[in-house]
Structure 1
Amino acid sequence: MRIALIEPDLPHAKLIGRLIFAGGHACEHFTSSAPFLQRAADEFFDLLLTENWAGDHCAEDVIPLARAVLPGLPVVVLMTAPRESQIVAALHAGADDCLSKPVRGPEMLARVEAVLRRAGLRRPLQRRRDVIGGYTFDPVTLAVTFRNRTVSLTPKEFRFAQLLFSNLSRPVSRAHILETVWTSRRDVRSRTVDTHASRVRTKLQLRPELGYSLTPLYGFGYQLDAIPPGGPAAPE
């Protein structure tokens, strides 16, 4: 899942980012709400974690602004030594949950997972398209559009590609791939994962000369990297 974090406190933001990554999610950090809202206009996020004071606005104001851009976006508000009145105000403003700072890793991840589960039950099927790194993912048609062309994928190829792009420049383990793409670790051969990776690489033209490199990580999984124009190619 792609999680946006609005947190002016940089040390605490780094801690949360590490915890989210350990939980198998991608995290994009913003120090205030304005750059988050600008990014959300172009890219999809599955959940917003925001400080009660989001650097430029309070969370009660940020929540409706965020949902005007991303309808139905789940929101968890972070608070330092919160008073009951603050929690009540955040919940009345539309927050799905509140967390005390500094966060406790297992509790934060458990609450995030619970909010995501509830959000999945109430979200409409016609979900906003994901736009990541110039690739547009349409969950309804299972099609990916890039460089003025559209390619149809199988359901597993679509989930595999979306997982890789959601974790751009991060290693993705085979265990995480199996849980996300096949929803099970049983009866799936290693060659099956490699075959799907090869198909995704070919269909989406993930080649260094075209800006992306999909690299197998021996004994671990795969990593997708963006290659800047004129930059060195990632090792194959």
Structure 2
Amino acid sequence: MTSSLTRADGSSLRVLVVDDEPNIAELLQMALRYEGWDVRTAGTGRKAVAAARELVPDAIVLDMMLPDYDGMEVLRKVRAFAPDVPVLFLTARDSVEDRVAGLTAGGDDYVTKPFSLEEVIARLRGLMRRAGAMDARPSSVIQVGDLALDEDSHEVVRAGREIDLTATEFELLRFLMRNPRRVLSKAQILDRVWDYDFGGQDNVVELYISYLRKKVDAGHEPMIHTKRGAGYVLKPVG
């Protein structure tokens, strides 16, 4: 499910993810981009402060343990020029002291590792709403070129022609359309669309991509492309 939270001008909310573990940062980045948010990542405190100055984020997901200065030091430095930005702390330690220290330092909420992506997203939504993010998206329709997908009615239309999709085909297309021009690997597609690992049987992705091509690209210039060795990408025509 994607978020309808946006900035007051209707543009995507900006989230800075700070974690020195690349796999965690990438996982959070993918999940938050799927929500429709503009996401930047940083792996050190120094880079996090620089990215916060440049991006001016609407929220920060901040690991407490970083290789240079810790999360609370990052928070102090960022709050010097962005005093109101909501901060969600990630901590590997579930102690009362850590929670109190993070919140006392000015953090708005915390999630303990290991965490679920759904929990992080839910906490961020809550922080952003409290911070005044607007629900300004005019409709539930995702549009890429002449292809439109309605997340509420599950209707898909290309160039005025309605396309009938199964539930899985719909989820796959929605993921591709939420990430236009971005190459998505089979592993990323399996994780998001099927929500679990097929134990290496990633040919299921190839199969469903072929189903989509027959329905979405039939009679039109192709939008769904294969990047050999990398994955798949959906691009508007023209």
Please classify the TM superposition score into its range, dividing by the shorter chain length: 0.5 to 0.7
SS at match of 1:219: strand
Report the identity percentage.
21
Partner of 2:68: 56
Partners in 2 of 1:224 and 1:70 — Cα distance? Answer: 31
Structure 1 residue 112, shift from structure 2 partner: 0.7
Matching of residue 5 in structure 1 with residue 10 in structure 2:
no
TM-score (norm 1): 0.54
After superposition, the CA RMSD in angstroms is 3.0
1:116-195 equivalences under 5 Å are 116-120=128-132, 180-182=136-138, 184-185=139-140
The answer on whether the counterparts of 2:33 and 2:179 sit within 8 Å (CA) in structure 1 is no
Alpha-carbon spacing, 1:5–1:217, altered in 2? closer, same or farther (3 Å): farther
Higher strand share: 1
Q: Which runs of 5+ in 1 are unaligned?
A: 122-158, 160-178, 195-214, 226-233
Greater relative CO (CA pairs within 8 A, separation 6+): 2
SS in structure 2 opposite 1:91?
helix
Letter in 1 for 2:100: V
Deviation track 1:56-105 (CA, whole Å, cap 9, x = no partner) reads 11111111211112231110110113211011000000000010112212
* Structure-2-length-normalised TM-score: 0.54
Specify the structure having the higher radius of gyration (Cα). 2
Using the TM superposition, give the Cα deviation of residue 15 of structure 1 relative to its aligned residue in structure 2, in angstroms. 1.6
Would the aligned equivalents of 2:45 and 2:70 in 1 still touch at CA under 8 Å?
no
Question: Given the superposition, is the C-alpha separation of residues 41 and 108 from structure 1 closer, same or farther in structure 2, using an over 3 Å criterion?
Answer: closer
Gaps of 5+ in 2: 1-12, 150-176, 182-235
Residue matched to 1:16: 28
Matches within 5 A, 1:94-109: 94-109=106-121
State the distance in 2 between where 1:2 and 1:61 align. 21
State yes or no: 1:93 paired with 2:93: no
Shift of 1:16: 1.3
Quote how far apart the aligned CAs of 1:36 are.
2.3
Q: Which amino acid aligns with 2:145?
A: P
Equivalenced residues, count: 147
Contact 2:42 2:51 in 1 (8 A): no
Residue of structure 2 equivalent to 1:219: 148
Structure-1 residue corresponding to 2:46 = 34
Equivalent residue, structure 2, for 1:209: none
Counterpart amino acid of residue 147 in structure 2: Y
